[in-house]
Amino acid sequence: MNITVKLFASFRAGRFDVETGDYPDGTTVADVADLLNLPQSELGIMMVNNRHVKLDYQLVDGDTLALFPLLGGG
């Protein structure tokens, strides 16, 4: 199935801004993060088609996943 992944802020470094790829059925948000080597402790907002999701959300064909890092500095 085709999933479009959009990365933001520091997640873009050494990866990409936006990329559409072929993923196996049943792929979750956590699987995509693992494939991209994004540590779970750094994950902030995660959205699929502009709706907030959690790590265990199962993606379906045509979904757009957006991942933002966790920012906490002041």
Partner 1 sequence: MDTLPIFVRDHADGQLFPWKYQVEASKRFGLTLAQIEEVALERGILPARYQRNRTIISVSDQLTLFRSSVAVIGCGGLGGYVVEELARLGVGKIVVIDPDVFEEHNLNRQLFSSPENLDTAKVEAAARRIGEINPAVTLVPVQTAFSPENGAELLAGCQLAVDALDSIQVRLELAEVCTTLNIPLVHGAIAGWFGHVTTQFPGDDSVQAIYRSWTSGKGVEQSLGNPSFTPAVVASLEVAEVCKLLLGRGTPLRGRQAIIDLLSMEMHVINILEGHKETE
Binding site for partner 1 (CB under 8 A): 8-10, 12, 17, 41-47, 50-55, 68-74
Contact of 59 with 29, CB cutoff 8 Å: yes
CB of 5 to partner 1, least distance (A): 15
Contact of 39 with 10, CB cutoff 8 Å: no
CB of 54 to partner 1, least distance (A): 7
Which CB sits closer to partner 1, 1 or 42? Answer: 42
Which CB sits closer to partner 1, 5 or 46? Answer: 46
CB of 49 to partner 1, least distance (A): 9
CB atoms within 10 A of CB 32: 21
Parallel, antiparallel or unpaired: strands 2-7 and 51-52:
unpaired
Query: Whose structure tokens read 């959690």?
Result: 54
